[in-house]
Amino acid sequence: MNHSQIAKESKKWVEEEIITDSQRHQLLERYPKRGQKPLLLTFAAIFIGLGFLTFIASNWSRMDDLVRMGIIIGFLIAFYVAGERIYTKYSNTLGVSFILIALLIFGSGIFLIGQMYHYTSYSAFPFFIWAIAACGLYVLWKEWTFFISAIGIITVGQIYSGFVYQQLHFLMALLFLVVLGVVVYRSKEASLTLMFGISYLIQSLILVLSEDLNYYWLMVFFLTLYLADDLVVKKGEVRVFKTLSVIAVFTLHVFGVFLLGQEWITNASESSFLFFLLWAVLFVGAVIRAALSSTNYYWADLILFVPVFKFPIGDAISLGVLFLYSLIWLIFGYRTEVSRWVNKGTATFLFTTFLAYFQLAWDFMNRSVFFFTGGILLFLLSFFLERKRRQVHKGGRAE
């Protein structure tokens, strides 16, 4: 029993006159407060660490390369060993933070040593090595901190790779999909799935942009995420991948509305056989999945995954897709009286209407008239939709 537990319990004993107040104090003194010690120790460690850091930082340029190496390696090992000891003996959280610091030292060590010895890297390879270390730590300790670190390192590394080297680091993407993918598949934890999904979307965007692929390739990546949803979903929980991919593909169509009508997008019109093949396979998969689904409305999302190319009326088709999508959810929502679907349909319908209005009227309407009319239009629309929605909420029939 620890101090705080005794303190709580003994209060009752005094009240019940089992012991006196002075006896209670005597008892309490036998159990010194343990919690304070690690806290003080932590502060001590942080201060000493900060002292070292500032000392090293101010003398770094004057140090010999080998001394710098010694410092980096020494700190790396010291923090790992301390972290492991603390984790097993005292506190998990403190141990994890020590190991996390060591992981950060490893990453910055790669870059510092690279700078010291004039390494030139032509890819995000340092990030790849760093990410392997983070993944290894997760596999060993099963602490979410390391999983999050791994996702963070990989995502930042890929963004860096995209900006600096105009490429996606494929080995890192493979590490992401295989190691972290398996973790997400096994854990089925919504927050982790969310992080994984966002990182996946960022990486597919980097791939398409850096490899000069046509924008419609994004559709294939989004559709893959959509189909992968069944692998990671826990019963009764939010469908993270599905929601993310639908949001992503919806956004893609919004961009389509604005960009597909532009003259300067020329390369977007050429279509590739490989794209059609992959897309068709995935789409058929999604249709089969929809047919097997217990809810009949699963296939409504699939409308969004129909790619729109650059035709003269490509922007109008994108707009049509968005309208169709929101209308279907509205109708389904009213028919089945599922308010979640009505909300989804309402929000997307209002947004699409605004988009259409913006696209059509912005160029030739007087600005103030544009906003006035738009406001009134949206107001009327939301009034009717809201009235309908309330009927559903009350459980009344929406006729």
Partner 1 sequence: MKKTLWFYVLVALQAAFLIVMSVGFYAMDEWGETINLKTEPVDPRDPFYGDYVVLNYQVESFPSSKWEGKDDVERGDKVYLLLENEEDGVSSLIKASDHPLDPDANQIVVESRMEWRDQYNDNYRVDLGLDRYYVEENTGREWEQAEDRIVTIVLAPWGQKKIQSVR
* Among 65, 230, 237, 386, interactor with partner 1 by CB under 8 A: 65
Helix (H), strand (E) at residue 168: none
Nearest to 245 by CA among 316, 196, 181: 196
Structure tokens at 158: 């890929």
Q: Is residue 72 a contact point for partner 1 (CB under 8 A)?
A: yes
Which one of 44-52, 80-88, 169-177, 359-367 is the stretch in contact with partner 1 (CB under 8 A)?
80-88
Q: Is residue 157 a contact point for partner 1 (CB under 8 A)?
A: no
DSSP code string of 42-62:
HHHHHHHHHHHHHHHHHHGGG
Question: 276-283, long-range: CB within 8 Å, 24+ apart, which pairs?
Answer: 278/220, 279/219, 279/220, 279/223, 279/307, 282/220, 282/223, 282/224, 282/227, 283/223
* Strand intervals (E) in 148-202: none
Q: Is residue 81 a contact point for partner 1 (CB under 8 A)?
A: yes
Q: Is residue 67 a contact point for partner 1 (CB under 8 A)?
A: no
* Among 119, 163, 185, 362, interactor with partner 1 by CB under 8 A: 119
Number of residues that bind partner 1 (CB under 8 A): 32
CA torsion angle 385 391 394 396 (round to 10): -150
Q: Is residue 117 a contact point for partner 1 (CB under 8 A)?
A: yes
Rounded to whole angstroms, how far apart are CA atoms 211 and 204? 11
Query: Whose Cβ is closer to partner 1: residue 95's or residue 197's?
Result: 95
Which one of 78-86, 180-188, 319-327, 358-366 is the stretch in contact with partner 1 (CB under 8 A)?
78-86
Which one of 108-116, 250-258, 268-276, 302-310 is the stretch in contact with partner 1 (CB under 8 A)?
108-116
Residue with tokens 């934890």: 189
Please give the C-alpha separations between residue 170 and each of 124, 129, 167, 302, in angstroms, as whole numbers: 10, 13, 9, 29
Q: Is residue 58 a contact point for partner 1 (CB under 8 A)?
A: no
Q: Is residue 122 a contact point for partner 1 (CB under 8 A)?
A: yes
Q: Is residue 90 a contact point for partner 1 (CB under 8 A)?
A: no
* Among 13, 125, 165, 297, interactor with partner 1 by CB under 8 A: 165
* Among 45, 113, 247, 254, interactor with partner 1 by CB under 8 A: 113
* Among 12, 30, 89, 118, interactor with partner 1 by CB under 8 A: 118
* Among 100, 101, 124, 133, interactor with partner 1 by CB under 8 A: 133
Please give the C-alpha separations between residue 300 and each of 95, 235, 294, 304, 328, in angstroms, as whole numbers: 48, 21, 14, 8, 7
Query: Whose Cβ is closer to partner 1: residue 8's or residue 186's?
Result: 186
Binding site for partner 1 (CB under 8 A): 65-66, 69, 72-73, 76-77, 80-81, 84, 88, 102, 106, 109-110, 113-114, 116-120, 122, 129, 133, 136-137, 140-141, 165-167
